[in-house]
Amino acid sequence: MNDFLRIITHARRFKSAVKEIGVEQLEEVKIKLQKIIDDRIAEEEAARIENAEKIEKIQKYKELLAEDGIDPGELLDGSSEKQGKRAPRQPKYEIWSEKGEHITWTGQGRMPNVFKARIDGGETLDTFLIDQ
């Protein structure tokens, strides 16, 4: 596509590319290209009209809401609002390492090595559950 645009948008390249094409074929290309241009113009005009109608309707609704004393922001149920960071999870498992460190784990993400070593040693994960 880039080669096509590079050729068609540069007069000398375009003239060189169509040098071997006859006048009748060039007329056919001209008719087809004009049809594409007309269709594109019609599509853009339809989109512009549709957008103008939409903007007009939005303005009308805003005016109606203002008359009733309703802020447009009140219509949102909050689900589309940006949510902040979620609260950190509470630890689900705990263990005391051999160094005397108290290590907790939520059960999410990578398992700490201390837990891994003890589980590989034969203990079950349930032995480290925090009583709640």
* Same domain, residue pair 51 and 97: no
CA dihedral 45, 51, 56, 58 (to 10 degrees): 170
% of the chain exceeding 90 in pLDDT: 53
Assess if residue 16 is contained within a domain.
Answer: yes
Instruction: Tally the domains of the chain.
Output: 2
Which residues on adjacent β-strands are paired with residue 105?
Answer: 93
**What backbone phi and psi angles, to 5 degrees, belong to 95?**
-155, 150
* Same domain, residue pair 50 and 100: no
DSSP 76-95: S-STTSPP-PPPPPPP-EEE
pLDDT digits (tens, 9 = 90+) for 58-80: 999 999 998 988 888 777 765 55
Answer whether 93's CB lies under 8 Å from 125's CB: yes
Domain ranges, residue 18:
2-67
* Same domain, residue pair 97 and 62: no
Q: What is residue 48's predicted lDDT score, i.e. its pLDDT?
A: 96
> Residue 111 and residue 105: Cα distance in Å, rounded?
7
- How distant, in Å, are the alpha carbons of 12, 18, 20 from that of 8? 9, 10, 15
> In the chain, which residues have pLDDT < 70?
1, 77-83, 132
Helix (H, G, I), strand (E, B) or coil at 31: helix
Q: What is residue 99's predicted lDDT score, i.e. its pLDDT?
A: 87
